Structure 1
Amino acid sequence: MLIIGSVFAGLAALIHVYIWVLESILWTRESTRRTFGIPTVEEAETQRTLAYNQGFYNLFLAIGVAVGVVLIWTDGLRPVGLTLALFGTLSMLLAAVVLVSSGPGRLRSAATQGTAPLLAAVFLLAGILAG
């Protein structure tokens, strides 16, 4: 179970690194604006600082999860790794729940953002319970 959980946690981290790239680096590009439903460059510019900041939250969660996964497989550090990976993936999952609650039309984005963290947390917890 820990192997499957680690794979989904790694996938969740990669997705959140991609979100960081979109929000913090490529925010005003047409394809990024289309992804986030931002119709004009001017509107994207207005939101640039907020998106930049939010992107880094996603990056930091991804780093925490990635470090956790590495520590899960490091002798003597499994409890620390599980704690980091679970905290990070559950934070990602809760952020997806917040996204859904923020308005209509966000379900697809929330599913993209939250499915891998959900599966990671489920399998990591199952691995813990299995001993």
Structure 2
Amino acid sequence: MFLAAQLIVALIALLHVYILVLEMFLWEKPAGLKAFRQTRESAAATKVLAANQGLYNGFLAAGLFWGLSLGTAGQPVQVFFLSCVLVAGLYGAATASRKILYIQALPALLGLGLQYLS
């Protein structure tokens, strides 16, 4: 279970790096517009907000990578950051898009479950 938990945590961390790139650097580009179903006008108006969100996603990824780098001693760190991802995903699903529930919250919940089983 430990290896499965670490693999899920790594994938979630990589996902948040990808979200960081989309929100900070590709928000107004075709990939960002498509991923977030934005028009060019709305993307231009929300660019600064998106970059801020991207930075926070980067912090989540950094925390997960930090936890991974600590090996078994990093499990409490991973649980903390997975919990942050879960809360952010639940809030995003409730306020922005139900899609966030499946992309962010459920993988975090799976990761937490695997952490507790390992």
Pick the TM interval, shorter chain.
over 0.9
Is 2:111 the partner of 1:120?
A: yes
Checking the alignment, whether the CA contact within 8 Å between 1:11 and 1:116 is kept in structure 2 is no
Give the structure 2 partner of residue 13 of structure 1: 13
**Percent identity over paired residues:** 31
Q: CA deviation at 1:25?
A: 0.6
Q: Which runs of 5+ in 2 are unaligned?
A: none
- State the distance in 1 between where 2:45 and 2:31 align: 17
- State the distance in 2 between where 1:26 and 1:110 align: 22
Give the structure 2 partner of residue 100 of structure 1: 93
Q: CA deviation at 1:15?
A: 0.4
Give the structure 2 partner of residue 69 of structure 1: 68
Give the structure 1 partner of residue 36 of structure 2: 36
Deviations 1:58-97 (A, max 9, x none): 0111010011012024xxxx1xx11211111111111110
Query: Over alpha carbons, which structure has the higher Rg?
Result: 1
Q: CA deviation at 1:33?
A: 1.1
Q: 2:101 aligns with which of 101, 110, 115?
A: 110
Aligned residues: 118
TM-score for both structures, normalised by structure 2: 0.92
RMSD: 1.3
- State the distance in 1 between where 2:46 and 2:101 align: 20
TM-score for both structures, normalised by structure 1: 0.84
- State the distance in 2 between where 1:12 and 1:114 align: 10
- State the distance in 2 between where 1:6 and 1:60 align: 18
